[in-house]
Amino acid sequence: MTPIKRSAFSKEGKWFRGNIHAHSTVSDGAVAPDKQAEDYCAQGYDFLALTDHNVMPTHAELSRDDFLMLPGWERDIPYGTTKCIHLVGLFPENTPDEAFIRRERGNPDTMSMQDLVDEMKSEGQFVVLAHPVWSRMEPEEIRALKGIDAIEVFNTGTERLCHAGHAEIHWDMLLREGRHVLGIACDDTHGKTARSDRFAGWVMVNAPKLERGAILDALRSGNYYSTMGPQLHDVTIEDGMVHVACTACSEIHVVTYPPRGKAHYAGEHPLTEIDYPLKGGERYVRVECIDENGCTAWSNPIYLDA
């Protein structure tokens, strides 16, 4: 029998660095769109989505041969002064055109959370649940949402604003229920924190080329990893063994369910790879690698119940 090999991402294409949640002066950001594009390009990013609140300019004029703007927006429903739901949507190819922009949509003031997800998904958007900790969403509210593609596992802006940027516990909550939900690290730039909220969380996407369709296809299929700095070289399961290879890290965590995974810690020398034997019965496996500065890289789940 041929051994079954499963990987968290492909390595057949090219690697592209991008941020899919950012704001500009078009809504409540502090930096103009052209400056955002210029700065992210200068920092070595290959693509950027300016996801301003409830507006959908494409910013296509800011794209270059070596830098791609992904059209998107952030839609939100407030529930008082401290509670809300925010959803990032990246638009499919050929939108937004004039017909798409002028399409009649529901009023967020009268829509439910699920109504908003359903409307965005009906338009072919890649839908990400943004900063659920900052939004003060309850676990049952997150669990009730159907159809989201991903959840922000790390959000720079909300982490640096009020230590509300990590959502690993909510991600695992969904994965434990058998939901196939991806993880996203992003910046969510507003420029209103005491410390910069740019260039600290991003996705590394493996795609054949730097084109909108190719990047979106890779995001939808989970062919990427999220990071604050560490690089993931390999996350593979073969013959019941999880193999992880990364840049030098102090910790490598294998997260599984229902049997528990294992935490690996560096000794005299940093960790660059580990092997972990599965116990049997795992429904999914994901990996977190943490470097000496406390920066994390997250793989997407490898599903073993499919």
Indicate the pairing of strand 284-290 with strand 296-299: antiparallel
* pLDDT tens figures, 32-74: 999 999 999 999 999 999 999 999 999 999 999 999 999 999 9
Mean pLDDT of the chain: 95
Nearest to 40 by CA among 209, 152, 198: 198
**Domains of the chain: which residue ranges?**
13-227, 232-303
Q: What share of the chain is helix, strand, coil (3-state, %, to 5)?
A: 20, 35, 45
Identify the pLDDT of residue 94. 85
| CATH of the domain spanning 232-303 | 2.60.40.10
Nearest to 88 by CA among 14, 157, 15, 169: 157
Mean pLDDT, rounded, for 268-282: 97
CATH 3.20.20.140 for domain 13-227, yes or no, is yes
Q: How many CB atoms lie within 10 A of CB 106?
A: 13
Identify the pLDDT of residue 58. 93
3-state DSSP of 102-156: HCCCCCHHHCCHHHHHHHHHHCCCEEEECCCCCCCCCHHHHHHCCCCCEEEEEEH
Give 194 or 282, the one with higher predicted confidence.
Answer: 282
Return d(Cα 188, Cα 131) in angstroms, integer: 9
Q: Is the pLDDT of residue 3 over 80?
A: no
Tokens of 272: 């660059």
Q: Is the pLDDT of residue 305 over 90?
A: no
Q: How many CB atoms lie within 10 A of CB 118?
A: 15
* pLDDT tens figures, 231-254: 999 999 999 999 999 999 999 999
Identify the pLDDT of residue 2. 42
Q: How many CB atoms lie within 10 A of CB 192?
A: 13
- pTM of the prediction? 0.96
In the DSSP assignment, the letter for residue 166 is: B
Q: Is the pLDDT of residue 266 over 90?
A: yes
Indicate the pairing of strand 202-207 with strand 14-19: antiparallel
Nearest to 73 by CA among 47, 46, 50: 50
Identify the pLDDT of residue 78. 86
Bridge-partner residues for 205, per DSSP? 16, 224
